[in-house]
């Protein structure tokens, strides 16, 4: 079972597809969850997910607006996708029939 | 917003040096990219702040990744990384010694917390300027009395000063004004001031909304205009801004609200005032005369003028006025004081003393923790020796100890913040309401900064003390396993710290002793009345229905009749001012048979306009003649006066005062015949040396006192009657407010509030100091005994008697205590003069207090020595010799 924030990070990576690195991942989470998330929190979670083998990192090209520094791009691995699906399924099943308007439409 | 985001260099440096190498490049890159976005959205400053915030979070939270490639060197500034390592190591060590850590942190928290709390109380009075623009140009101006003291001034003198002075840019007169607000809810008594229209512009304060007073409103017919404090406006008028420009009812009369002051406005000159009314005097008013000295004057000097030069100019002006009106001034001269000094001078000695006391406690706490650290360092000799043998230089070891000291201090500082909050909450509730700048007290930025600086300083001190050690010689012997040669210099340091603790504790105890003996003496001063079983309250009969004097008198009589009906009430009376109640209402008394060329030089006496039974109800002894009776209230009764023994002997030394006639107050006062002489009472303060009083039946005085105190003599506990008495007064007139309900004993106690506060704090600090000092002595001795186990074993094996061993340990401890006592006595004697102004009837070098405290401390030190000494006796020679 994934932590809530881990879920958010994984979903964010899927959402921004090919352009998933620190800044874009954070933005995706901030936009949808409406809460202020520090870059550090994102990094810590990414590190943990990488150690668990749920995401794969690759170092990209340097860009000028980053003072010539390189980016690290992330993508979901196969176990990552599986874990995310299972985790969300659990939430769905738990919510079923409670009449809270939580049913998937 | 255009432009390039420039990251803060400091933050960037920290990130570059401290972030784990694996994260550094991408993380900083991401932050820079985002910084540019944030800058576009919120501006350059906000972006820099955001960058700092993000960096600090990252530095705290982002740990090294576990997977580090073998080729990767741990980068970053090695010194910084080492220090972080030291901190981490220190944290582990402290966690492993929880008892020691808790004790140290608690001790430091008490010291830091107490000092920070006291500092935040003292800061507004001692260090901060007044909360007005250019406060250094604000002064209080008064006339110089014949004895050189400062007195209030009459309106005409004020007018002449303002008109003719060149050093003063603007002046304002002010007098007190107690009012009852009687619309928008239940009647409420509020403290107010009557002020010149220029008052707020002298201070440099503008209303938050509405307008300032107009100059043309400052006249007798147009002065029904008021300014509200922000607090009053919120509380009573529900923050309704429409009240501005409309009328409110005060004492039954409508007043226009000109404006509301900002919430930040602090009434420094008249603490507690919530409403201001235009003074509205002109020369035609009878109470605007030169001898009607009931106004205070504040002024803003022109830039560059000092109070001294203003005083010279105004004194010259005053001399001219005295030549012109020789019978209306007691002496020539003006006194000009800076407003800051004048409003805070009375509270300064107490605050300095208490601040000093808290600093002493802080020193003792530091000494204690340093001592604990030293003891620990001695036990860790082996650890240090091994580290040194492995190549750790002295600097490395010192850095390690410094890190531990800083950690302890930081934890102590954090806990101290809680202590400070708590202490401050307790303190503020107990501070006397008369204390200047009360509302400015709080744990503000300055106080926190001071607390933080103290914390850092302590951290360094605590870290460096145990780092003192002997030369390298000991290294080898320590490693060889002998604990026989533990650092001599550290022993000396520990002994020195204990001596210092005893000395500091003695100083604090002496201070507490002197203050408590002063208070005992003060409370045994003969007040002149019987405060036992006496309830007092204040009431007010104001408004159109009391415009006639007779209506006020009738109201007072009905109130007294209602009170006398209550079960448990023996006598009741009204009086225009209560002794020690904080009022000042004095008049010059001129005797018919001792005419003075200048009537202003007549002795001043406190005026008490009373109902007939007042002297009896208060228990003021009649020494000669008679007290008043109902007969004095009749319309055709001759005018009579009762004087205090002090006043009688000042005017008629060696003569009988009874039957003499006097003039009191007013432009053309009638003659009054002295019919009685009574005991002196203390009006201003218990420690005021000299006071004179006169009493007149209230119906015989020139005007009726709308605000009076009521005194009720009860059969038993007066507090039981509080509710009934209040109801009885309001039963006479429901619109009549009842305030300041207190027993007379409480009134007396309140008049000594400042001393009580000082005593309470000194007492608390001294007890804390005593406990810490005892713990220090005990700790050192217990440590010494543990270290000398082998030696004691040898001694007893060689035939030393238990008595000899006991003596040896006791002497070691008492030597430290006696050295501390001697130094402490010298310190107490030299610091005593700072307490002098808080003492009463006792000398700062009072031998009884000094001796008593020294004995007490010696006894306590002896007790602290006994336990370790007996433990030494229990040492079994065989085990001792086998140990190591």
E strand residue ranges, B261-317 = 275-278, 296-301
Mean pLDDT along residues B734-753: 88
| Rounded average pLDDT over B770-796 | 80
Q: Which residue has the higher pLDDT, B63 or B851?
A: B851
pLDDT (tens digit, 9 = 90+) per residue, B799-831?
Answer: 888 888 888 888 888 888 999 999 999 999 988
Q: Is B54 touching A (CB cutoff 8 A)?
A: yes
User: Is residue B21 less than 8 Å (CB to CB) from chain A?
Assistant: no
Give the pLDDT score at B487: 53
Half-sphere exposure at residue B468, Cβ-oriented, CA atoms within 13 angstroms = 17
Query: What's residue B469's pLDDT?
Result: 59
Examine the pLDDT at B687 and tell me if it is beyond 90. no
Using a CB-CB cut-off of 8 Å, the residues of chain B touching A41 are 61
Grade residue B68 by pLDDT with cuts at 50, 70 and 90: very low
Higher pLDDT, B789 or A25: A25
Give the Cβ contact number of residue B616 at 10 Å: 15
Which one-letter DSSP state was computed for residue B444? -
Give residues with Cβ within 8 angstroms of B874, minimum separation 6: none
Segment B301-315 shows an average pLDDT of: 95
**Residue entry with tokens 């009649």:** B622
In this predicted structure, what is the pLDDT of residue B187? 81
- Candidates B193, B228, B224, B223; CA nearest to B211 is B228
Residue with tokens 């001795």: B781
Is residue B761 over pLDDT 60? yes
Question: What pLDDT band is residue B736 in, cutting at 50, 70 and 90?
Answer: confident
For residues B820, B824, B827, B832, the Cα torsion angle rounded to the nearest 10 degrees is 180
- Decide if A26 and B31 are in contact by the 8 Å CB cutoff: no
pLDDT of residue A102: 64
Say what the pLDDT of residue B66 is.
44
Contact B873, B802 (CB under 8 A): yes
A39 vs B25, B30, B67: nearest CB: B30
Q: Which of A21, A63, A69 sits opposite B25 (nearest CB)?
A: A69
Token pair, residue B483, equals 């604990």
pLDDT tens, residue by residue, B24-61: 888 888 888 888 888 888 888 889 888 988 888 888 77
Contacts of B28 in chain A (CB under 8 A): 67, 69
Q: How far is A65 from chain B (nearest CA, A)?
A: 6
Give the rounded percent of residues in chain B with a pLDDT score beyond 90: 46
Confidence of residue B470 (pLDDT cuts 50, 70, 90): very low
**Cα–Cα distance for residue pair B18/B491, rounded to 1 Å:** 40
Q: Percent of chain B at pLDDT above 70?
A: 94
Alpha-carbon distance of B493 to B309, in angstroms, equals 54
Whether A18 shows a pLDDT value over 80: the answer reads yes
> DSSP letters along B28-73, please?
HHHHHHHHHHHHHHH-HHHHHHHHHHHHHHHHHH-PPPS---TT--
pTM of the entire structure?
A: 0.73
| B29 with A26: Cβ contact below 8 A | no
- Which residues, other chains included, contact B34 with Cβ-Cβ below 8 Å and sequence gap of 6+? A23, A26, A39, B54
Residue A67 in contact with partner chain B when CB distance is under 8 A: yes
The answer to whether B265 and B229 have CB atoms below 8 angstroms apart is yes
Task: Note whether B57 contacts A67, CB cutoff 8 Å.
Answer: no
Q: Which chain B residue has the Cα nearest residue A67?
A: B29
Report ipTM for this prediction.
0.85
Where is average pLDDT lowest: A14-23, B257-266, B355-364?
A: A14-23
Element (H, E) at B242: none
Quick check: B361 pLDDT over 80? Answer: yes
Identify the pLDDT of residue B212: 95
Q: Is B46 on the interface with A (CB under 8 A)?
A: no
Query: Above 50 in pLDDT, residue B207?
Result: yes
Q: What is the mean pLDDT of residues B366-382?
A: 83
pLDDT for B722 equals: 92
Beta-sheet pairing, B150-151 with B661-664: unpaired
d(CA B28, CA B339): 55
Query: In this predicted structure, what is the pLDDT of residue B471?
Result: 46
| Residues A51-78 pLDDT 10s | 888 998 888 877 777 777 888 899 999 9
Domain boundaries, chain B: 9-76, 149-330, 542-735
Q: How far is B865 from chain A (nearest CA, A)?
A: 56
Q: Does domain A4-95 have CATH number 3.30.9.10?
A: no
Per-residue pLDDT at B82 exceeds 90: no
B58 vs A: CB within 8 A: yes
**B666 pLDDT tier (thresholds 50, 70, 90):** low
Chain A environment of B30 (Cβ under 8 Å): 21-23, 39, 66, 71
- Taking alpha carbons only, the member of B462, B487, B465 closest to residue B474 is B487
* pLDDT at residue A103 in the model: 60
How sure is the predictor about B244, in pLDDT bands with cuts at 50, 70 and 90?
very high
Q: Show residues of chain B in contact with A59, CB under 8 Å.
A: 26
Rg, C-alpha atoms of chain A: 15
Which of B295-304, B427-436, B526-535, B545-554 is predicted with the least confidence, judged by mean pLDDT? B427-436
Q: Is the CB of B27 less than 8 angstroms away from the CB of A51?
A: no
Mean of per-residue pLDDT scores for chain B: 87
The burial class, CB within 10 Å (0-12 / 13-18 / 19+), for B678 is: buried
| pLDDT reported for residue B294 | 87
Token pair for B66: 């576990």
Residues of A in contact with B62 (CB under 8 A): 40, 43-44
Q: Domain boundaries in chain A? A: 4-95
Q: Cα–Cα distances in Å, from B137 out to B224, B295, B461, B504?
A: 30, 20, 42, 41
pLDDT the model gives residue B488: 65
Mean pLDDT (whole number) for B474-486: 51
Identify which of B312, B81, B117, B267 has the alpha carbon closest to the alpha carbon of residue B177.
Answer: B267
Query: Does A19 touch chain B if contact means CB atoms closer than 8 Å?
Result: no
B30 vs A66: CB contact, 8 Å cut-off?
A: yes
Answer whether residue B64 shows pLDDT above 80. no
């Amino acid at each position: 079972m994934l932590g809530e924030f881990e879920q958010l990070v994984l979903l964010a990576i899927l959402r921004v597809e090919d352009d998933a690195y620190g800044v874009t991942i954070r933005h995706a989470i901030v936009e949808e969850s409406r809460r202020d998330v520090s870059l550090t929190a994102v990094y810590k979670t990414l590190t943990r997910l990488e150690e668990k083998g749920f995401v794969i990192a690759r170092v990209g090209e340097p860009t000028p607006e980053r003072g010539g520094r390189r980016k690290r791009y992330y993508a979901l691995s196969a176990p990552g996708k599986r874990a995310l699906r299972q985790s969300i399924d659990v939430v769905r099943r738990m919510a079923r029939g409670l009449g809270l308007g939580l049913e998937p439409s | 917003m255009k432009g390039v985001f420039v990251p803060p260099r400091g933050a960037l440096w920290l990130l570059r040096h401290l972030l784990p190498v694996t994260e550094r490049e991408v993380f900083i890159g991401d932050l820079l990219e985002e910084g540019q976005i944030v800058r576009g959205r919120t501006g350059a400053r906000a972006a820099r702040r955001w960058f700092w915030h993000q960096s600090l979070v990252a530095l705290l939270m982002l740990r090294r990744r576990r997977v580090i490639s073998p080729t990767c060197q741990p980068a970053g500034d090695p010194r910084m990384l080492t220090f972080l390592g030291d901190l981490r190591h220190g944290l582990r060590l402290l966690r492993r010694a929880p008892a020691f850590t808790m004790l140290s942190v608690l001790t430091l928290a008490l010291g830091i917390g107490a000092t920070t709390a006291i500092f935040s109380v003292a800061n507004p009075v001692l260090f901060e300027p007044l909360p007005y623009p250019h406060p250094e140009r604000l002064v209080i101006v008064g006339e110089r009395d014949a004895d050189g003291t400062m007195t209030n001034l009459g309106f005409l003198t004020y007018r002449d000063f303002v008109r003719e002075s060149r050093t003063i840019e603007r002046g304002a007169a002010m007098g007190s004004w107690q009012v009852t607000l009687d619309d928008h809810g239940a009647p409420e008594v509020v403290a107010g001031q009557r002020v010149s229209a220029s008052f707020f512009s002298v201070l440099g304060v503008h209303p938050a909304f509405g307008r300032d007073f107009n100059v043309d409103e400052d006249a007798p017919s147009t002065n029904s205009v008021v300014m509200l404090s922000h607090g009053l406006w919120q509380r009573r008028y529900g923050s309704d801004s429409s009240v501005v420009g409309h009328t409110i009812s005060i004492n039954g009369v409508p007043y226009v609200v000109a404006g509301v002051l900002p919430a930040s406005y602090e009434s420094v000159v008249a603490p507690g005032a919530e409403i201001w009314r235009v003074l509205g005097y002109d020369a035609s008013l009878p109470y605007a005369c030169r001898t009607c000295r009931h106004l205070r004057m504040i002024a803003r000097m022109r830039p560059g003028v000092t109070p001294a030069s203003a005083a010279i100019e105004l004194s010259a002006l005053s001399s001219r006025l005295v030549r012109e009106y020789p019978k209306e001034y007691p002496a020539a001269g003006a006194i000009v004081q800076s407003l800051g000094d004048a409003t805070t001078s009375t509270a300064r000695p107490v605050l300095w003393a208490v601040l000093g006391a808290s600093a002493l406690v802080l020193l003792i706490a530091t000494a204690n923790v340093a001592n604990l650290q030293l003891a620990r360092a001695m036990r860790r000799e082996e650890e240090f020796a091994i580290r040194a043998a492995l190549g750790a230089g002295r600097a490395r070891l010192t850095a390690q100890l410094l890190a531990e000291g800083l950690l302890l201090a930081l934890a102590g500082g954090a806990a101290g913040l809680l202590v400070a909050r708590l202490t401050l909450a307790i303190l503020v509730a107990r501070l006397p309401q008369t204390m200047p700048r009360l509302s400015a007290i709080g744990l503000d930025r300055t106080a926190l900064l001071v607390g933080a600086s103290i914390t850092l300083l302590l951290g360094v001190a605590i870290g460096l003390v145990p780092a003192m050690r002997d030369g390298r010689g000991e290294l080898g012997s320590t490693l060889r396993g002998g604990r026989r040669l533990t650092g001599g210099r550290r022993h000396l340091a520990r002994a020195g710290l204990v001596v210092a603790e005893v000395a500091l504790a003695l100083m604090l105890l002496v201070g507490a002793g002197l203050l408590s003996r002063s208070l005992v003496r003060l409370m045994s001063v003969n007040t002149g009345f019987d405060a036992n079983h006496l309830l007092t309250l204040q009431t007010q009969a104001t408004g159109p229905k009391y415009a006639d004097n007779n209506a006020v008198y009738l109201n007072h009589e009905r109130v007294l009749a209602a009170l006398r009906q209550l079960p448990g009430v023996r006598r009741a009376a009204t009086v225009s001012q209560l002794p020690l109640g904080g009022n000042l209402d004095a008049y010059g008394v001129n005797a018919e048979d001792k005419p003075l060329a200048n009537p202003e030089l007549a002795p001043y006496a406190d005026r008490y306009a009373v109902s007939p039974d007042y002297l009896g109800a208060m228990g003021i002894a009649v020494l000669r003649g008679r007290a008043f009776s109902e007969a004095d209230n009749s319309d055709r009764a001759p005018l009579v006066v009762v004087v205090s023994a002090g006043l009688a002997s000042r005017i008629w030394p060696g003569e009988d005062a009874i039957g003499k006639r006097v003039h009191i107050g007013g432009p053309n006062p009638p003659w009054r015949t002295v019919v009685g002489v009574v005991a002196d009472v203390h009006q201003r303060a218990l420690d005021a040396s000299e006071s004179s009083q006169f009493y007149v039946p209230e119906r015989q005085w020139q005007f009726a006192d709308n605000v009076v105190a009521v005194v009720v003599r009860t059969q038993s506990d007066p507090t039981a009657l509080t509710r009934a008495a209040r109801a009885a007064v309001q039963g006479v007139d429901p619109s009549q407010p009842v305030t300041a309900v207190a027993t007379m004993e409480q009134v007396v106690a309140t008049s000594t509030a400042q001393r009580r506060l000082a005593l309470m704090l000194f007492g608390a600090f001294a007890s804390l100091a005593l406990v810490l000092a005892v713990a220090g002595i005990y700790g050192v001795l217990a440590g010494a005994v543990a270290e000398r186990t082998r030696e004691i074993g040898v001694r007893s094996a060689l035939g030393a008697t238990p008595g000899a061993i006991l003596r040896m340990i006791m002497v070691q401890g008492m030597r430290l205590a006696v050295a501390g006592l001697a130094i402490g006595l010298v310190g107490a004697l030299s610091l005593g003069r700072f307490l002098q102004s808080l003492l009463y009837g006792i000398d700062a070098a009072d031998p009884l207090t000094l001796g008593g405290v020294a004995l007490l401390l010696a006894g306590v030190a002896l007790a602290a020595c006994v336990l370790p000494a007996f433990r030494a006796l229990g040492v079994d020679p065989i085990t001792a010799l086998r140990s190591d």
